Amino acid sequence: MEALLCRKLGDPTVCLEDNDSPIVLSKNHPIPQLDSPTAVRVRIKATSLNFANYLQILGTYQEKPSLPFIPGSDFSGYVDAVGPKVSNFRVGDCVCSFAGLGSFAQFIVVDESQLFRVPPGCDLVAAGALAVAFGTSHVALVHRAQLTSGQVLLVLGAAGGVGLAAVQIGKVCGATVIAVARGAEKVQLLKSLGVDHVVDLGNENVTESVKKFLQTRRLKGVDVLYDPVGGKLTKESLRLLKWGANILIIGFASGEIPVIPVNIALVKNWTVHGLYWGSYKIHRPGVLEDSVKELLSWLARGLISIHISHSYPPSEVNLAFSAIKDRKVIGKVMVVFDEKHSRSKL
Q: What is the pLDDT of residue 346?
A: 39
What are the CB-based long-range contacts (under 8 Å, 24+) for 193-198? 193/164, 193/167, 193/168, 193/305, 195/158, 195/167, 195/171, 198/158
Q: How far is CA 179 from CA 141, 194, 342, in A?
A: 15, 11, 33
- Where would I find the beta strands (DSSP E) of the chain? 3-6, 23-26, 39-49, 74-82, 94-98, 107-111, 116-117, 152-155, 176-181, 197-200, 222-227, 241-249, 271-274, 308-312, 332-336, 344-345
Pair (220, 147) in one structural domain: yes
Q: Is residue 47 part of a domain?
A: yes
Q: Is residue 125 part of a domain?
A: no
Pair (108, 141) in one structural domain: no
Tell me which residue range forms the domain holding 237.
134-278
CA–CA dist 172, 145 (Å, integer):
15
Beta pairing, strands 116-117 & 94-98: antiparallel
CA–CA dist 1, 258 (Å, integer):
43
Q: Is residue 172 part of a domain?
A: yes
Pair (142, 253) in one structural domain: yes
Per-residue confidence band for 245, with pLDDT thresholds at 50, 70 and 90: very high
Pair (45, 101) in one structural domain: yes
In the predicted model, what is the mean pLDDT of residues 162-166? Answer: 96
Pair (138, 113) in one structural domain: no
CA–CA dist 223, 264 (Å, integer):
15
Q: Is residue 301 part of a domain?
A: no
Q: Provide the 3-class DSSP secondary structure of residue 11.
A: coil
Pair (89, 25) in one structural domain: yes
Nearest to 75 by CA among 36, 119, 121, 133: 133
Is the bond into 68 cis (omega within 30 degrees of 0)? yes
Q: Is residue 294 part of a domain?
A: no
Rg, the chain, Cα only: 20
In the predicted model, what is the mean pLDDT of residues 273-277? Answer: 94
Domain count, the chain: 2
Per-residue confidence band for 343, with pLDDT thresholds at 50, 70 and 90: very low
Q: What is the CATH number of the domain that holds 34?
A: 3.90.180.10
Percent of the chain with pLDDT strictly greater than 90: 90
Pair (189, 245) in one structural domain: yes
Domain end position, chosen among 278, 295, 324: 278
CA 193 to chain centre: 18
330 close to 185: Cβ distance less than 8 angstroms? yes
**Range with lowest mean pLDDT among 41-45, 183-187, 300-304, 338-342:** 338-342
CA–CA dist 308, 326 (Å, integer):
16
Pair (70, 108) in one structural domain: yes
Max Cα separation, the chain?
62
Nearest to 116 by CA among 288, 273, 346: 288
Q: What is the pLDDT of residue 220?
A: 94
Domain end position, chosen among 231, 259, 278: 278
CA 26 to chain centre: 26
Q: Is the pLDDT of residue 339 over 70?
A: no
Pair (102, 199) in one structural domain: no
Pair (143, 113) in one structural domain: no
Nearest to 125 by CA among 336, 301, 339: 336
Q: Is residue 225 part of a domain?
A: yes
CA–CA dist 302, 314 (Å, integer):
30
Q: What is the pLDDT of residue 344?
A: 42
Q: What is the pLDDT of residue 340?
A: 53
Per-residue confidence band for 342, with pLDDT thresholds at 50, 70 and 90: very low
Q: Is residue 25 part of a domain?
A: yes
Pair (164, 109) in one structural domain: no
Q: What is the pLDDT of residue 84?
A: 97
Residue 42: left if φ>0, alpha if ψ -120 to 50, beta else—which one? beta
Pair (255, 168) in one structural domain: yes
Q: What is the CATH number of the domain that holds 243?
A: 3.40.50.720
**H or E element that contains 263:** helix 262-267
**H or E element that contains 237:** helix 232-238
Q: Is residue 296 part of a domain?
A: no
Domain end position, chosen among 260, 278, 296: 278
- Give alpha helix (H) positions in 156-231: 161-172, 184-192, 206-217
Digit-coded pLDDT (tens) for 47-101: 999 888 999 999 998 889 999 999 999 999 999 999 999 999 999 999 999 998 9
Q: Is the pLDDT of residue 177 over 80?
A: yes
User: Up-side HSE of residue 207: CA atoms within 13 Å toward CB?
Assistant: 9
